[in-house]
Structure 1
């Protein structure tokens, strides 16, 4: 006996943060979604990601869930600082100040409070993040959530995908027919394997013995102002500790040395005590063991016809800068509006070529940033001076030097403006390249730019709205001179059914980076075209943007 078959527009495999965000975004565009997830509804996730980037929060704002996330996680008045100490309870070496969520919109102190965004980052563990996304998504009309359901196989038939799904409770099967399938099913992705995509790169960069603990007395033992993240730097054991609930739960990362080849090579309890700086009489409870391997692996392709992969299914790397989950969500948001364009009928098949063309190169860049930073951190941990805890002048000098080096190296990781706002898409089939090179960016820095492919620099409109709040579905044309006639472009978009919103920017000076009277932005905030007048052949531009021009060229060939 089989369960009732399901027909939908998009089948998402995996209901982690990436899959849930993809489903939420597709639903906001009127696309029907089914989500297959092997876990039970509201089954607690692992203690993984601790950080939601500004770019991710910008989209959560448009999806109406940002305020829910801001109200969760660490206590409102709990600082999000990153502090380096000889141990968690030891001597402070340096501190990277980051406002807590109660001051996140208003604080002007710290290296990331200047960011040009309506939604600064939010430090929240996946334990709190995922249930909010799940509850929000499950309540949306047009979304079918199938828990305890495993996609065991699928076939592609013309313009659709037919998946076989097993109900893990009853043992019964059902068929799910969808136009598209997206594998958001993690590092061991069955979808990736099914399409023959292979992970390539460096399989092992760093092993981390990670332990989720309950220690109610720890916070009172830590001197000075609390912090979200504590780096323990001493010759015995280097590690990182994250405050999870701000009261009694903590995640302890013990970074294994290269000569410690497996997770059992070093005593877990001893390591935790050395990292925390507590004696044998200190009591704590192990909630779970979360050991992990840092890698730099990227799939050789992200797509096979109507099947796509995103998130950890497509890339795995050392989770520096909090960009594992956030890069996966960026995949989802890039793919979502492209799939919607096809389902809605205004995008041609070739518009989907943009996903791999845009996301795979960026994934390679970000993974290399993370790998480079990981190498520097491994080197720093191996160079901790033996006298760093000495209570004499030499020990003080050693602590000051290590503190300076730690701040300079890590401020770019925890306040990573470049990874948020600097990356750009080149070589995309749906971006009108005008010959200007986008400005280079680093993990920590960037130059705002409207070069096609870059993120449209944010600014506040005269009526107090965020620029991104004014964006419409599909494309948005920013007009900085109301006298410029844009009717030809508006008419061309209408003739092709392509959504186009015109926003007249008046009452505010054009911010840095805006040098043209017209800037055409995509739904995902990246610039697609710019100019001072509408191009002579506006239909040709519209066809490029919706994937029709590249298809026509291939057909002519």
Structure 2
């Protein structure tokens, strides 16, 4: 970590906000040799709020590339603690159904169950942000080229044709800092000052549900919970429905109390009574409140993600009910989509117009994913309202009712917690740096299901190489050309890429266990694992293909053609 007392600083990229999204963006940019300043209001290592509990597979794949996946796997719940999701009449009540999810000890080896089939080197990981963020912070702070400014408040910015000048205030001394950068990214949350200053507005559904969240310490709770432990507990009874997450696997828990439609104000609901109804404990049960937070579930998406050299990512760009764990994970997907594009510009091989791909790709996907989350939220709200008054009745009739409710809860929620579609199914269309081939359309996907595909814009389906490495482990820092037939001469493309210093890694594939989606002899993959082009042979004009991949503007293409005519690029 670099520290400085200067009031004037400069870097390639200024990131406002050092939460998981900002830290991941900084990590990836640093891996590309891009200098970064992180501006954060909190003190160094100040504990984050108890929020996200799930790191998606796509996020873990990128953390693998960035060198922190194993550290994250080793943190959080105990290695043998089940990551199951269980539905009960209360946390300590009767079990209705259970979605089995492997503990982290068995995450790479388990093959049975709805969450054990993932076609990836890095399945999901259940870990709370209070454990996740410190690991990301320590890793990022140690990287060369990264300057972390804690207790620093971003104030305002101006931009010109060459860069951005931001003004920030040292919150302890009141000193003003002037920061000059080529690009700036607002990762500063739902109340983003960066978003407000570029004139973007959040639009959508302002209120879907209200939730009281309480982080508690209850050492005696685990012994009251019957049966096998779980990571997540859903309480369903006519008095109060809620959710509880195991945080350390021993004595700390996060309890979400979902307010009903007729409870529009947070203070209209007694927090303690609600917690006891969710847990299924009486007034004599003792617990301590560590922290509490009341929040509103929304579906809001910014009207734009960019203004010139200034970009938005994460909660600054979109807010929605965090079903399927896709609040933080969608923000990290933003960061990893943007980082390699910024890297291409800073490194000099990408045309400035390549940055147009960020909003063209991420804004439509954000709309899709937020709709998935909102749709699921509405279904869950209806399910909570429909809990039968006799769900806790003893005897065969009660057993039959609970079995029926359990089946319904499983069918509705297995797609949320085993969300292969949200991880691997989404695709980019209408992007200026993806070359459609007109053969097929990208297959549709749902929250839980998807069809592997090599249609340009889709995620490159994973497979293991003959040497035992993951396909993604062999990807280069820019583009990677997968060659499935060595007889295809790809030297013209290599020469064209070299002419513009565009990083192109040629990977000859030798394995007998290919996904059937790979039906073309050549497939070009991007740094973020999405497919940019495919074909049986190279196009006649390889320079035109490279022009698309490096995001050339029309003006630059005209200049390139002139140079080619003069023989400079022959």
Q: TM range, normalised to the smaller chain?
A: over 0.9
Please say if residues 55 and 125 of structure 2, whose CA atoms lie closer than 8 Å, have aligned partners that are also in contact: yes
| Alignment match, 2:473 | 469
Please identify, of 388-397 and 252-261, the stretch whose mean Cα deviation from structure 2 is larger. 388-397
Which of 499, 510, 515 is 1:495 aligned to?
A: 499
How far off is 1:552 after superposition?
4.4
| Alignment match, 2:40 | 37
Whole-Å separation in 1 of the counterparts to 2:218 and 2:474: 46
Question: Cα deviation per residue 1:34-88 (whole Å; 9 max; x = unaligned)?
Answer: 0000000000000000000000000000000001100100000000000000000
Question: Cα deviation per residue 1:438-461 (whole Å; 9 max; x = unaligned)?
Answer: 000000000000000000000000
Which of 296, 306, 309 is 2:312 aligned to?
A: 309
Which of 505, 509, 513 is 2:509 aligned to?
A: 505
Which of 506, 519, 522 is 2:523 aligned to?
A: 519
Whole-Å separation in 1 of the counterparts to 2:288 and 2:516: 52
Whole-Å separation in 2 of the counterparts to 1:387 and 1:500: 64
Whole-Å separation in 2 of the counterparts to 1:223 and 1:540: 64
**TM-score normalized by structure 1?**
0.98
How far off is 1:393 after superposition?
1.7
What pairs with 1:92-241 in structure 2 (closer than 5 Å)?
A: 92-241=95-244
Whole-Å separation in 2 of the counterparts to 1:330 and 1:368: 17
Equivalent residue pairs, number: 555
How far off is 1:509 after superposition?
3.8
Please say if residues 463 and 513 of structure 2, whose CA atoms lie closer than 8 Å, have aligned partners that are also in contact: no
Which of 263, 266, 279 is 1:263 aligned to?
A: 266
| Alignment match, 2:327 | 324
**TM-score normalized by structure 2?**
0.96
Please say if residues 209 and 255 of structure 1, whose CA atoms lie closer than 8 Å, have aligned partners that are also in contact: yes
Whole-Å separation in 1 of the counterparts to 2:94 and 2:204: 39
SS in 1 for 2:452: coil
| Alignment match, 2:356 | 353
CA pair 209-555 structure 1, distance change in 2 beyond 3 A: farther
SS in 2 for 1:291: strand
Whole-Å separation in 2 of the counterparts to 1:506 and 1:246: 43
Whole-Å separation in 1 of the counterparts to 2:323 and 2:163: 38
Please say if residues 424 and 438 of structure 1, whose CA atoms lie closer than 8 Å, have aligned partners that are also in contact: yes
Whole-Å separation in 2 of the counterparts to 1:555 and 1:281: 79
Whole-Å separation in 2 of the counterparts to 1:550 and 1:391: 73
How far off is 1:507 after superposition?
3.2
Please say if residues 97 and 109 of structure 1, whose CA atoms lie closer than 8 Å, have aligned partners that are also in contact: no
How far off is 1:508 after superposition?
2.5
Which of 533, 542, 545 is 1:529 aligned to?
A: 533
SS in 2 for 1:380: helix
Question: Cα deviation per residue 1:203-249 (whole Å; 9 max; x = unaligned)?
Answer: 00010111110000001110000000000000000000000010110
> Are 1:482 and 2:460 counterparts?
no
What pairs with 1:66-105 in structure 2 (closer than 5 Å)?
A: 66-105=69-108
Question: Cα deviation per residue 1:473-502 (whole Å; 9 max; x = unaligned)?
Answer: 110000001111111111111111100000
Please say if residues 350 and 550 of structure 1, whose CA atoms lie closer than 8 Å, have aligned partners that are also in contact: no
> Are 1:459 and 2:472 counterparts?
no
> Are 1:57 and 2:57 counterparts?
no
Runs (4+) of structure 1 exceeding 3 A deviation are: 549-556
What pairs with 1:13-24 in structure 2 (closer than 5 Å)?
A: 13-24=16-27
How far off is 1:10 after superposition?
0.2
Please say if residues 478 and 504 of structure 1, whose CA atoms lie closer than 8 Å, have aligned partners that are also in contact: yes
How far off is 1:4 after superposition?
2.9
How far off is 1:364 after superposition?
0.1
> Are 1:285 and 2:307 counterparts?
no
Unaligned stretches of 5+ in structure 1?
A: none
> Are 1:448 and 2:487 counterparts?
no
SS in 2 for 1:264: helix
Please say if residues 211 and 289 of structure 1, whose CA atoms lie closer than 8 Å, have aligned partners that are also in contact: yes
| Alignment match, 2:371 | 368
Whole-Å separation in 2 of the counterparts to 1:291 and 1:213: 14
SS in 1 for 2:179: strand
SS in 1 for 2:184: strand
Whole-Å separation in 2 of the counterparts to 1:259 and 1:284: 28
| Alignment match, 2:339 | 336
Whole-Å separation in 1 of the counterparts to 2:195 and 2:151: 20
| Alignment match, 2:568 | none
| Alignment match, 1:548 | 552
Unaligned stretches of 5+ in structure 2?
A: 561-570
Question: Cα deviation per residue 1:410-461 (whole Å; 9 max; x = unaligned)?
Answer: 0000000000000000000000011221000000000000000000000000
Please identify, of 16-25 and 169-178, the stretch whose mean Cα deviation from structure 2 is larger. 169-178
Please say if residues 366 and 419 of structure 1, whose CA atoms lie closer than 8 Å, have aligned partners that are also in contact: yes
